[in-house]
Amino acid sequence: MSILIDQKTKVIVQGISGREGEFHTRQMLEYGTKIVGGTRPGRGGEKMQFQISRNGSAETILVPIFDTMAEAVAATNANASVIYVPGRGAADAILEAADAGIELIVCISENIPVLDMIRVTRKIAENGTKLIGPNCPGLIAPGKSKVGIIPGTICIPGPVGLVSRSGTLTYEVIHALTEKKIGQSTCVGIGGDPVHGLGFIECLEMFEKDSETRAVVLIGEIGGTDEEKAADYIKNKITKPVVAFVAGQTAPPGKRMGHAGAIIEGGTGTAEEKIRAFENAHVQVARHPTEAAELIARKLNARTTTR
């Protein structure tokens, strides 16, 4: 199993004809993601041709384009979408996908105004749509499907779930796990914006229920209180081993480090507070990203030994 996506997930690419949309559609197709269509107003009825290399052979895939998400879903029965629309139009793209009945929306777009995201999260909460992002790398279920921009070449299937606020650190930890021949069940980059969709707790809950996932890596960063809330949830609800890493441990107060949500204000949101919260929840905290893989290896070995 995996969480959120698998080989049966049918994906629409919103903004498929843009530079980023076209490039990453090709990458997703090569990985095996079931891309069933794309949207670009004014180009409905056309098809985009993708020359890909998969399983050692060249293929040509034609992806139909639709003017609207409603048309795309009606024609393809898609249940997921990934958004590469520029920030100024991304909020409306999320709402259009939700209104069309899409169950999972992955928004890669960055620079979406906070007020727009407040409007979006209120709306999608009404119909139960799951949103990952914005300003995120998306997610991957190794060997099954990827929706977003996480490099498939660094992933292998296995028992470790990963949830992260940081895109770059997601890749680094995945690579470290793979180097140790520790595969991943699902890797989810939730994004670092202050207003976003699914968070740590929702992903932890899904990993806890997933029979394939035996341990979890959580990558947090300074700013906000999401990590502290996650630590409390782990302490009370999670039975599987969890290892954490908190980025920004040397960040000075008042400085934003990378993400819009990664800012320490008023003495809250510091790395020290987050690390303390995890330690109080009996979660080991790695000193650097690659150590997270080492700690997970020990957790997995300990569980195997005690069986």
Of 1-5, 130-134, 207-211, 249-253, the least confident? 249-253
The backbone torsions φ and ψ at residue 82, rounded to the nearest 5 degrees and listed phi first, read: -130, 135
CA distance linking residue 90 with residue 121, whole number of Å: 13
Active-site residue (options: 24, 175, 196, 259): 259
CA 97 to each of CA 92, 178, 216: distance values in angstroms, whole numbers, following the listed order: 9, 34, 30
pLDDT recorded at residue 30: 97
Please count the CA atoms within 13 angstroms of the CA of 137 that sit on its side-chain side.
22
- Comparing 251 with 259, the larger pLDDT belongs to 251
CA distance linking residue 288 with residue 97, whole number of Å: 38
pLDDT recorded at residue 167: 87
| Cα-based torsion angle of the residue sequence 28, 164, 225, 267 in order, rounded to the nearest 10 degrees | -120
Taking the domain 10-132, which CATH number applies? 3.40.50.720
User: Where do the CATH 3.40.50.261 domains begin and end in the chain?
Assistant: 150-306
- Answer yes or no: 259 catalytic: yes
Does the pLDDT value for residue 263 go beyond 70? no
Q: What is the mean pLDDT of residues 97-109?
A: 98
Q: Which listed CATH number (3.40.50.261, 1.10.150.120, 3.40.50.300, 3.40.50.720) goes with 150-306?
A: 3.40.50.261
DSSP secondary structure letters along 226-251 = HHHHHHHHHHHH--S-EEEEEE-TTP
**pLDDT band per the 50, 70, 90 thresholds, residue 266:** very low
What percent of the chain has a predicted confidence (pLDDT) above 70? 92
Mean predicted lDDT score pLDDT of the chain: 93
Query: Mind listing the pLDDT tens digit for each residue in 43-96?
Result: 999 999 999 998 888 999 999 999 999 999 999 999 999 999 999 999 999 999
Q: What is the mean pLDDT of residues 97-122?
A: 96
Please count the CA atoms within 13 angstroms of the CA of 282 that sit on its side-chain side.
9
